Amino acid sequence: QVQLVESGGGLVQPGGSLRLSCEASKSIFSINVMGWYRQAPGKQRELVATISVGGSRNYADSVKGRSTISRDTAKNTVYLQMNSLKPEDTAVYYCNARTVYPGLGYSDDYWGQGTQVTVSS
């Protein structure tokens, strides 16, 4: 069981930046993968970025080069730094924690409540 709390969303102008935070209720080293997803009205939830317990990072093509996922293990927190924001980045951003059980053939996913990001001039 993992509880996740996101913060840092808000209204920004195109080209602006913001940093999203996700605080977990347990050590992020006990979670296989943490990541950020986003969902706009009428659209499917899509992956933005992930970071594994080993530090491996992956990014969606739409944000690669202008976003950075990072972590502060002492604070059990994962961050998403987003720069050069575009109107199409507007969405509710959700933090995700995935615990994998390879011997049992399944994984558990936990989600935060979401934080709204709006990019508009």
SS3 label, residue 4: strand
DSSP state of 73: G
DSSP state of 1: -
Convert 17-68 into a string of H (helix), E (strand) and C (coil).
Answer: CEEEEEEECCCHHHCCEEEEEEECCCCCCEEEEEEECCCCEEECCCCCCCEE
Please name every residue paired with 18 in a beta bridge, in sequence order, or none if there are none.
82
Question: pLDDT by residue (tens digit) across 55-95?
Answer: 999 999 999 999 999 999 999 999 999 999 999 999 999 99
Burial of 15 (0-12, 13-18, 19+ CB in 10 A): exposed
pLDDT for 102 beyond 90: no
The token pair that represents 115 in the structure block: 């934080």
Question: pLDDT by residue (tens digit) across 12-49?
Answer: 999 999 999 999 999 988 999 999 999 999 999 999 99
pLDDT of the residue at 46: 97
pLDDT of the residue at 70: 98
Residues in CB range of 113: below 8 A, 6 or more apart: 5, 6, 94
pLDDT of the residue at 79: 98
pLDDT of the residue at 52: 96
pLDDT of the residue at 83: 98
